[in-house]
Amino acid sequence: MTMNRAGLQRFATAAAVFGVAVAGFWLWWLPRPDERLPSREPAAAIERSTAALVPLPLVPDLPPDRVALGRALFEDVRLSHDNSLSCSSCHDLTTAGHDRRRFSVGVDGALGSVNAPSVFNASLNFAQFWDGRARSLEEQAAGPVHNPLEMASNWDEVIGKLQADGHFWREFRKVYPEGLTAANIVDAIATFERTLLTANAPFDRFLRGDLQALDAKALGGYRRFKELGCVSCHQGVNIGGNMFQRFGVMAEYFGDRGHLQIAAADLGRFNVTGREEDRYVFKVPSLRNVALTAPYFHDGSVAALEDAVAIMGRYQLGRQLSKEEISSLVAFLNSLTGKLPVSLQK
């Protein structure tokens, strides 16, 4: 029996649909990669397998003269109105890239409204600032210069002071043909900041195959980190910093905070978009070097990492974490402490 052309087309379409359905069922039925590993495989080998977390990359190969100029600018107090503050005042390179204060102190003693995040590994974030208002390091670098609570200056003032320094002006001309401009200032600072990667943390070594890099407690904490769902937000190369999330998914953090009234800074992403769904939404912070970067959260209200973990369990996961769980999670978080870039090592 023969088929006409229309019949053949209908048959081919039906066969294709059937094939897709079979393939979909097969893929659904297959166990996950971890489940396909034989039970005799070492537990560490199973735990090392994850698509959500990846090792920190090597420091990018950037022009050394531009990096050097960026570091000089990063540490130059002339970026502030009264020559009292530099970028390193709030992002101290000797203390994990931040100032260990709840809120940083600006020109004339002005107090900031949010906790200053670490500058280390900031280049790996998908946006900058807690509310994500800056899309790049260059955009972020311009913010503190103009913020009245921080450097309280402007580009005309900054460039005027820097141009008066003949040596500095000449060095700038060597690096940038256009000379001393606002765009080149932030480009140099951002270039330097892209070198501030804290590689070779124990967890990075573990992800690269060193199964002894994590002790039993840290490995248990890593397992719990995944089982609880922490990894759904704290993921990627920076173990955070690649998405926005509401602070208080499972309970009202700001309603329970009690001792602190809700301030404008607590509104988070809402201050940028004006959308009600962005109220109390913030950029998920990176957990790299988190053991060194207390106090915690945008409001700097928590001094101890154990307390921060307990709060995250309650308000983000809806769980009352046990002391054992908190202890193991903190052990894992300690494994995220990396080494200073070679350029900063003494």
DSSP H helices in the chain: 5-29, 33-36, 43-48, 64-74, 87-90, 137-146, 155-163, 166-175, 182-193, 202-207, 216-228, 253-256, 270-273, 305-317, 323-334
Q: Catalytic residue positions?
A: 150
Burial class (CB in 10 A: 0-12, 13-18, 19+), 198: buried
What is d(CA 178, CA 100) in angstroms, rounded to the nearest whole number?
A: 38
- Specify which residues 283 forms β-bridges with: 244
Cα distances from 278 to residues 200, 312, 334, in angstroms, run 36, 19, 31
**Helix or strand or coil: residue 54?**
coil
Whether the Cβ atoms of residue 106 and residue 147 lie closer than 8 Å to each other: yes
